């Protein structure tokens, strides 16, 4: 009969409408199941795969919970344990970047010798295609993908060309965004460090053994000759050295503290600059 | 380099001397044909050998090529033809014609009408003229564009270097905009003798030989007028223009006009390293980045002989079939939109798309620009809980949703009245016009590369190629629903059988140097045959990077399908081709 197909189709829309209506009358509609209430109608929603009813999310009050692997614009990692930038300015990320939007200035010491850190690091966020190749190929875990996607500004330049201060985030921030990957990475890094330490120890032990053998040989050789210093003299010398070493160690500890303080200051400075930048950007874009 | 026997083509003695050289790549034999004999050879292959489908036609500029000379012919430009048989299935025969720059070659449109758009593209980007072409105008660029940009000696406005990585980025990279160094005033040059003030756009149509003759003449003797549909209009699915001549409401002629989204993807691709092109392929058909990734990976793997581990093969199939469902749901929704069923079917159809995109995001990090595959596998394994969610979708939610869509639409009398018999074109004509994908299956031909020339592990799955007999709008809608259901079947099997193990084979990193040679790799993308033609001279960049995009080539049929129907029908005829402008314009 003419019209049955139409009616059948309308039945589907009716069912949709009723289902949604019913779902919305529940105390917790299906789309809010398992979501995070932030108050003031603000929510972080994790849509379950078997969700029924209305699927729409009221952005910006409601936002989706992003999966860990979500990639947007890269960020640089400040290793807060070691108090240093992880980036070594090796330039690999700039080389693999498909649209070539990473620009790195390698730092150099006062003699002009290149150092393993960068003095600046730019990413043009307007050009970046969020491919995450830089992350995949960085050998030092120094660059990771940020989840922050609300980047709108009025002008491309300079607001969308991020410099090092804007790109740098502390390790904890990364650990919070990428928990699974961070755990794996930490485990791997620890293991690598352990191995390195072991190798170094072995090397040191071997060197010591060699040195001992050598000095033993030298001692044997010189045994024939007359001793240049008396045993008492040698003892006094050893004491003196030990005292020296101790003093040095105390000194060194002091300078370690100084270095740490300097690093902390730099961290604070970075944070402050980032905030300033953000404020300036907002002001420039007329917010 | 083994000599390939000319007799493979079954050429008669008179034709045998048309072949001026051959060489054998690892995979397929290639023949160099004398330019003035190409039509004879094409006609022979089509009529006597059953190669009825001109899949790929493109050009390569060999100026400065570092590899060795092939087939003992040294002219600068080379036109490549890849022919297939839709009846027999199987691999291609590749013909090459080498000519000096600015030379003329006879057009293949008289043998394969589907050469139309592809020859115009070659003319536009390389400057080869095709003798006898019905409408040899620039297609992606406008007439005031100076030069032919795909030639190796042409440089773009912000030219830095021939190949990435650019040296200015590290270790002294100081951020600069190249725009600032190159003010527009100095960048605007026109072709010699071309005057921007007196220029007028040509209004020209390809004579439509395939269109069916419609008897009903207009009742009134009216004057025909030219109407532009688009380029800025929702019904053209992007920035796309249909140049139509109408009499009353009836379309007398229609010509697709494109290039508004052209960014010379292929030139960028030749500056990029092999791997860098992967995220760029996401931006072609941006609804289906997974199958774009796969098509490119497939071609490179064929060229560089890279193995793909078992689990990765399964992951690829899973992603590709999810993508097909996404695409078909989207396209069904928008066919209905174009018919005037505004938004309700479209929004119902894309509900499950959201769920699939969530899954893509969880595994790859992005909903649409997935950049998920690499040469030799995929880049990330599944996160925790992904498999269960996907299985729930494939086993329960998707079958239910597709059935519901079926109930909502298929028997709807209005849809039938509007879709039946509209946009008809016989399947033979569609093949001759190089149309591929759901359109020819809606015309009754069960041609699907997953069966005709299986790639990946498609030979392991139990699925059918649905076909419908009528080759009209309604069948083009319905075939997509049926195909989506078959995809669900494949998904169920793939998710059930997927083994544990490696996901990425060894040597496809960013330093890949693909061995010298050329390759054409193709797969059945949701919109039709998606192919990548690549040539390498052993460097870290592809020498030639060409995309045979189904959206673009299927537009060959738009004019012939629309003539004789109403303006309102032309909108949905375009909708049922299912184009994405990122892929059309590249
Ligand atoms: S971010 Fe990584 S790859 Fe890039 S320069 Fe720093 S250390 Fe090298
Ligand atoms: S995400 Fe990709 S495009 Fe963006 S900076 Fe990294 S490598 Fe470059």
**How far does residue A149's CA lie from ligand 2's centre (Å)?**
15
Angle between helices B567-577 and B310-339 (to 10 degrees): 170
Of B283, B397, B408, the CB nearest to A9: B408
Question: B47-70: per-residue pLDDT in tens?
Answer: 888 888 999 999 998 888 877 767
Between A100-104, A152-156, A256-260, B111-115, the lowest mean confidence (pLDDT) is in A256-260
DSSP single-letter state for residue B219: S
Confidence of residue B160 (pLDDT cuts 50, 70, 90): confident
B430 by DSSP, 3-state: which?
Answer: helix
DSSP single-letter state for residue B442: T
- pLDDT surpassing 50 at residue B40: yes
Report cis status (omega within 30 of 0) of the bond before B165. Answer: yes
Residue bearing the bigger pLDDT, B454 or B9: B454
Q: Residue A95 and residue B236: Cα distance in Å, rounded?
A: 39
Q: What angle do CA A32, A33, A39 make, to 5 degrees?
A: 45
- pLDDT surpassing 90 at residue B479: yes
B242 by DSSP, 3-state: which?
Answer: strand
Of A49, A71, A102, the CB nearest to B393: A49
Nearest CA in chain A to B354: A55
Mean pLDDT of B360-368: 92
DSSP single-letter state for residue B2: P
DSSP codes joined into one string, B446-478: ---HHHHS--TTGGGS-------SS-SHHHHHH
Question: A50-71: per-residue pLDDT in tens?
Answer: 888 888 888 888 888 888 999 9
Q: Provide Rg for chain A, Cα atoms.
A: 31
If you average pLDDT over every residue of chain A, what do you get? Answer: 79
If you average pLDDT over every residue of chain B, what do you get? Answer: 85
CATH no. of A74-177: 3.30.70.3270
Mean pLDDT of B193-209: 74
Chain A residues with beta carbon closer than 8 angstroms to that of B271 = none
Task: Report the pocket of ligand 1 as residue ranges, CB < 6 Å.
Answer: A 87-93, 104, 138, 140, 142-143
pLDDT at A157: 75
Nearest CA in chain A to B381: A69
pLDDT at B26: 52
pLDDT at A264: 54
Confidence of residue B1 (pLDDT cuts 50, 70, 90): very low
Residue bearing the bigger pLDDT, A276 or B513: B513
Question: Phi and psi dihedrals of B431, rounded to 5?
Answer: -65, -45
How many beta-carbon pairs under 8 angstroms link A with B?
136
Question: B388-439: per-residue pLDDT in tens?
Answer: 999 999 999 999 999 998 988 888 888 888 888 888 888 888 999 999 999 9
Q: What percent of chain B has pLDDT over 70?
A: 91
Specify burial of residue B304 (Cβ count, 10 A radius: 0-12, 13-18, 19+): buried
- pLDDT surpassing 50 at residue A251: no
- pLDDT surpassing 90 at residue B280: yes
Q: Residue B54 and residue B83: Cα distance in Å, rounded?
A: 5
Q: How far is CA B362 from the centre of its chain?
A: 28
Q: What percent of chain B has pLDDT over 90?
A: 33
Question: B557-569: per-residue pLDDT in tens?
Answer: 998 888 888 888 8
Of A3, A68, A95, the CB nearest to B413: A3
- pLDDT surpassing 60 at residue B285: yes
pLDDT at B299: 92
Which residue's CA is the closest to the ligand 1 atom numbered 3?
A: A138
Q: Find tokens 């031909």 and name the residue.
A: B445
**How far does residue B310's CA lie from ligand 1's centre (Å)?**
33
Question: A24-37: per-residue pLDDT in tens?
Answer: 888 888 888 888 88
Chain A residues with beta carbon closer than 8 angstroms to that of B283 = 129
Q: What angle do CA B114, B116, B120 make, to 5 degrees?
A: 145
pLDDT at B121: 93
Of A12, A89, A96, the CB nearest to B408: A12
Q: Provide Rg for chain B, Cα atoms.
A: 24
State whether the Cα torsion B507-B508-B514-B518 is positive or negative: positive
Asked whether the beta carbons of B249 and B574 are under 8 A apart, the reply is no
Chain B residues with beta carbon closer than 8 angstroms to that of A127 = none
Which residue's CA is the closest to the ligand 1 atom numbered 7?
A: A87
- pLDDT surpassing 50 at residue A117: yes
Three-state helix/strand/coil letters over B113-135 = CCHHHHHHHHHHHHCCEEECCCC
Q: Which two tokens stand for residue A97?
A: 């970047």
CB contact under 8 A, B407 and A103: no
pLDDT at B7: 47
pLDDT at B24: 60
CB contact under 8 A, B363 and A6: no
Nearest CA in chain A to B512: A96
Residues 6+ apart with CB under 8 A from A201: none
**How far does residue B402's CA lie from ligand 2's centre (Å)?**
38
pLDDT at B167: 85
End-to-end CA distance of chain A: 62
Between B69-73, B423-427, B543-547, the lowest mean confidence (pLDDT) is in B69-73
Q: Residue B90 and residue B28: Cα distance in Å, rounded?
A: 12
Confidence of residue B489 (pLDDT cuts 50, 70, 90): very high
Confidence of residue A255 (pLDDT cuts 50, 70, 90): very low
pLDDT at B145: 86
pLDDT at B5: 43
Q: Candidates A74, A91, A100, A117: which one to mutate for ligand 1, based on the most atoms within 8 Å of Cβ?
A: A91
pLDDT at A222: 53
Chain A residues with beta carbon closer than 8 angstroms to that of B392 = 49-50
Confidence of residue B369 (pLDDT cuts 50, 70, 90): very high
Mean pLDDT of A125-130: 90
Asked whether the beta carbons of B82 and B114 are under 8 A apart, the reply is no
Confidence of residue B2 (pLDDT cuts 50, 70, 90): very low
Chain A residues with beta carbon closer than 8 angstroms to that of B408 = 8-9, 12-13
Report the side by side order of strands in the sheet with B241-247.
B225-229, B241-247, B250-257
Specify burial of residue B539 (Cβ count, 10 A radius: 0-12, 13-18, 19+): middle
pLDDT at B198: 84
Residue bearing the bigger pLDDT, B87 or B316: B316
pTM of the model: 0.84
Mean pLDDT of B526-542: 91
For chain A, the 3-state helix, strand and coil shares in percent, each to the nearest 5, are: 50, 15, 35
Which residue's CA is the closest to the ligand 2 atom numbered 4?
A: A128
Confidence of residue B253 (pLDDT cuts 50, 70, 90): confident
Q: Which of residues 285-324 of B touch A (CB under 8 A)?
A: none
From residue A136, how far is each of A133, A174, B218, B321, B452 by CA, in Å? 5, 15, 64, 26, 37
User: Can you name the residues that pair with B98 across neighbouring β-strands?
Assistant: B78
Between B168-182, B347-361, B383-397, the lowest mean confidence (pLDDT) is in B168-182
From residue A102, how far is each of A82, A86, B285 by CA, in Å? 25, 16, 26
pLDDT at A3: 82
Chain A residues with beta carbon closer than 8 angstroms to that of B414 = 6
CA atoms within 13 A on the CB side of B489: 14
pLDDT at B478: 93
DSSP single-letter state for residue A32: G
Q: Where are the domains of chain A?
A: 19-64, 74-177
CB contact under 8 A, A124 and B169: no
ipTM: 0.83
DSSP single-letter state for residue B515: P
pLDDT at B69: 67
Report the side by side order of strands in the sheet with B77-84.
B19-24, B29-33, B93-99, B77-84, B53-61
pLDDT at B530: 93
């Amino acid at each position: 009969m003419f019209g049955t197909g139409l009616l059948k189709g309308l039945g589907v829309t009716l069912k949709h409408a009723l289902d949604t209506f019913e779902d919305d009358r529940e105390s917790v509609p299906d789309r809010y199941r398992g979501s995070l209430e932030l108050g003031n109608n603000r929510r972080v929603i994790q849509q379950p795969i078997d969700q029924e009813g209305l699927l729409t999310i009221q952005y910006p009050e409601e936002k989706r919970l992003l999966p860990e692997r979500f990639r947007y614009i890269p960020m640089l990692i400040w290793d807060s344990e070691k108090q240093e930038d992880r980036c070594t300015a090796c330039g690999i990320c700039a080389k693999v970047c498909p649209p070539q939007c990473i620009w790195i200035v390698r730092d150099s010491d006062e003699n002009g010798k290149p150092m393993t850190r960068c003095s600046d690091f730019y990413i043009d966020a307007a050009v970046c295609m969020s491919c995450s190749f830089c992350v995949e190929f960085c050998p030092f875990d120094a660059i990771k993908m940020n989840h922050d996607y609300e980047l709108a500004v009025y002008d491309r330049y300079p607001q969308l060309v991020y410099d090092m201060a804007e790109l740098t985030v502390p390790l904890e921030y990364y650990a919070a965004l990428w928990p699974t990957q961070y755990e794996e990475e930490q485990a791997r890094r620890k293991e690598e460090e352990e191995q390195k330490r072991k190798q170094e120890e072995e090397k040191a032990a071997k060197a010591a053994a060699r040195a001992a053998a050598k000095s033993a040989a030298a001692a044997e050789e010189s045994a024939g000759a007359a001793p240049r210093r008396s045993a008492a003299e040698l003892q006094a010398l050893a004491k003196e050295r030990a005292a020296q070493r101790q003093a040095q160690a105390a000194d060194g500890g002091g300078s370690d503290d100084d270095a740490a303080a300097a690093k902390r200051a730099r961290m604070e400075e970075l944070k402050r600059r980032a905030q300033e930048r953000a404020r300036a950007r907002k002001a420039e874009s007329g917010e | 380099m083994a000599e390939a026997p000319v007799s493979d083509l079954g050429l008669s003695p008179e034709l045998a001397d048309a072949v001026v050289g051959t060489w054998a790549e690892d995979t397929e034999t290639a023949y160099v044909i004398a330019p003035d004999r190409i039509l004879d050879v094409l006609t022979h292959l089509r009529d006597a050998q059953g190669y009825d489908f001109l899949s790929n036609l493109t050009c390569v500029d060999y100026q400065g090529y570092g590899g060795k000379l092939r087939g003992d012919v040294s002219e600068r430009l080379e036109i490549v033809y890849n022919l297939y048989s839709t009846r027999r299935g199987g691999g291609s025969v590749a013909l090459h014609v080498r000519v000096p720059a600015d030379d003329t070659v006879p057009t293949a449109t008289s043998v394969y009408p589907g050469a139309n758009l592809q020859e115009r593209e070659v003319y536009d980007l390389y400057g080869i003229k095709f003798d006898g072409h019905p409408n040899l105008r620039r297609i992606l660029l406008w007439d005031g564009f100076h030069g032919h940009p795909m030639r190796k000696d042409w440089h773009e406005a912000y030219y830095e270097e021939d190949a990435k990585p650019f040296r200015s980025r590290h270790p002294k990279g100081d951020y600069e905009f190249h725009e600032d160094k190159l003010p527009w005033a100095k960048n605007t040059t026109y072709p010699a003798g071309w005057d921007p003030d007196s220029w007028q756009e040509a209004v020209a149509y390809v004579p439509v030989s395939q269109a069916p003759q419609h008897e009903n003449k207009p009742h009134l003797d009216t004057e025909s007028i030219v109407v532009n549909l688009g380029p800025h209009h929702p019904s053209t699915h992007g920035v796309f223009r249909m140049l139509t001549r109408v009499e009353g409401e009836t379309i007398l002629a229609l010509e697709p006009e494109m290039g508004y989204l052209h960014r010379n993807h292929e030139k960028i691709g030749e500056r990029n390293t092999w791997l860098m092109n992967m995220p760029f392929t996401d931006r072609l058909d941006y609804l289906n980045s997974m199958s774009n990734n796969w098509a490119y990976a497939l071609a490179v793997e064929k060229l560089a002989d890279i193995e793909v581990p078992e689990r990765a093969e399964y992951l690829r199939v899973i992603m590709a079939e999810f993508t097909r469902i996404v695409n078909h749901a989207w396209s069904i929704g928008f066919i209905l939109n174009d018919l005037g069923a505004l938004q309700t079917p479209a929004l119902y159809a894309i509900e499950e798309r959201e769920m699939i995109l969530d899954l893509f995001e969880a595994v790859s990090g992005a909903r649409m620009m997935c950049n998920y595959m690499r040469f030799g596998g995929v880049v990330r394994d599944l996160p925790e809980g992904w498999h269960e969610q996907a299985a729930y979708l494939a086993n329960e939610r998707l079958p239910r949703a597709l059935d519901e869509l079926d109930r909502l639409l298929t028997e709807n009398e209005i849809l039938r009245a509007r879709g039946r018999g509209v946009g008809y074109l016989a399947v033979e004509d569609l093949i001759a016009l190089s149309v591929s994908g759901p359109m020819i299956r809606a015309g009754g031909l069960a041609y699907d590369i997953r069966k005709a020339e299986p790639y990946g592990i498609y030979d392991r799955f139990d699925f059918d190629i649905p076909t419908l007999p009528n080759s009209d709008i309604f069948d083009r809608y319905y075939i997509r629903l049926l195909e989506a259901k078959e995809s669900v079947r494949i998904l169920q099997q793939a998710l059930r059988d997927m083994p544990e193990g490696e996901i990425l084979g060894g040597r496809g990193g960013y330093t890949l140097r693909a061995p010298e040679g050329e390759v054409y790799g193709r797969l059945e993308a949701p919109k039709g045959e998606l192919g990548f033609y690549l040539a390498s001279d052993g460097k870290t960049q592809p020498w030639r990077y060409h995309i045979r995009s189904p959206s673009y080539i299927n537009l060959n049929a738009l004019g012939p399908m629309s003539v004789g129907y109403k303006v309102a029908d032309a909108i949905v005829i375009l909708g049922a081709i299912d184009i994405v402008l990122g892929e059309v314009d590249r």
